[in-house]
Structures are given as C-alpha cells and as structure tokens.
Copies of this chain bind each other. A is one copy, B any other.
Amino acid sequence: MSIQSRRERERAEREKLIITAARELAEAEGWEAVTTRRLAERVEYSQPVLYSHFKGKDAIMAAVAVEGCADLARELRTARTAAPDARRAIAGVGAAYVAFADRHPALYDVIFSLAVPLPFATPEAPPALQAAFGELAEAVRPHAGGDDLGALTETFWAALHGLVTLMRGGRLPREHHELRLGLLLARFTG
C-alpha cells in the first residue's frame, strides 16, 4: 500500500510537472510552439507518457486553463476588495481583467478563446472559473439597478473580452485603449 501510494504521488507530481511545463512554454513562446514533442522533451519523458496522463493535447491545455482561472480570480478579488467604493471597484476589476490578459496572453487565450474541452456556464465549470465570474458579478452588482445581475455581468464581461481580443489581434488601435475602457465603464455605471 505504501508503495502504491508513493507511485500515485509520483504520478501526480509528474502530471503537475507537465502542466507547468506546458504553461511556461505557452507563456514564453505561444501555444503554437507547444507541441507534444517539445513538451515531452521539456519534462524529460517520451511523448506517450503525456498520453498516459491526458487524453490529448487539448486536455493538457484545459488543465493549464483551470490553473490560469485561479490566478485570474485572485487578481480580480484583490482589485475589487482594494477599491474604496463601488465605482472604483468596477473600474479596478475591469482594469485588472485587461491587465491580466495583457500580461498573460497565452493563459488568457486558453481560458477564453481557444477551443478546449472545458465546461462553462454550467455547475460543472471549474470552481476557479466560477470564482472569477463571481468577482465580476460583485463588482457589477452595485450598478445593476433593476437589471438581471447574471446577464448584466455576462454583458460587461463580454465587452471586456471583446476589447482585449480585438486589441491583441491588431483589430483595435492600442492607443485609444484607456479611452475605450473609460467609455465602457461610464456606460455601466450610469
């Protein structure tokens, strides 16, 4: 039993190592540079070992996404609780969201843009993801008025997501970013 538990522990450590290596490689060179061969070389195992832990490359990306969600939730919470009032809370959370996407583009993409097998908007969604959404909702709540909080939060989130992705894809000029963010916040804080 002790031997078995040691093996399980080592397996768990190796799985964590794979996820970390995938994340580091993606953040350093982008997801297109994350191939199963490079990843296997990085963790110093052969390719098939990856498939004994994950169903495929998608599943590895999903695991990285879950990790990233926790980071995002933490940063949003910090921004929200540090704000002195409701108006600066939603502004701070919005800015933190954008800053996270800017500092961790690969992480942001795997969570919100790339096609990965992750449940969203259901009870099976990762707790960290629900936590991140919850932070947005708490920041939006004081400005919801009579509107449905969930739908309004989704709308605010979508607007932030659009700003972030269009700007990073070169579709929106970077120089007006602060202006756009200000206009968005003005529309959501009445």
Contacts and interface: CB of A to CB of B under 8 A. Distances in A.
A185 to B, nearest CB: 10
A59 interface: no
Copy number in this complex? 2
A155 B170 contact: no
Most buried by B among A150, A151, A160, A165: A151
A53 to B, nearest CB: 24
A131 B3 CA distance: 68
Contact of A161 (B112, B147, B166): B166
Contact of A151 (B115, B166, B176): B176
Interface residues of A, number: 35
B148 A158 contact: no
Interface in A153-190: 154-155, 157-163, 165-166, 169-173, 176, 179-180, 183-184, 186-188, 190
A121 B152 contact: no
Contacts of A148: 176, 179, 183
Contacts of A154: 166, 172, 176, 180
B112 A152 contact: no
A120 interface: yes
Nearest to A171: B120
A113 B166 CA distance: 8
A141 to B, nearest CB: 14
10 contacts: A112-B166, A115-B169, A155-B183, A157-B166, A158-B159, A158-B162, A158-B163, A161-B166, A187-B187, A187-B188
Interface of A: 112-113, 115, 120-121, 147-148, 150-152, 154-155, 157-163, 165-166, 169-173, 176, 179-180, 183-184, 186-188, 190
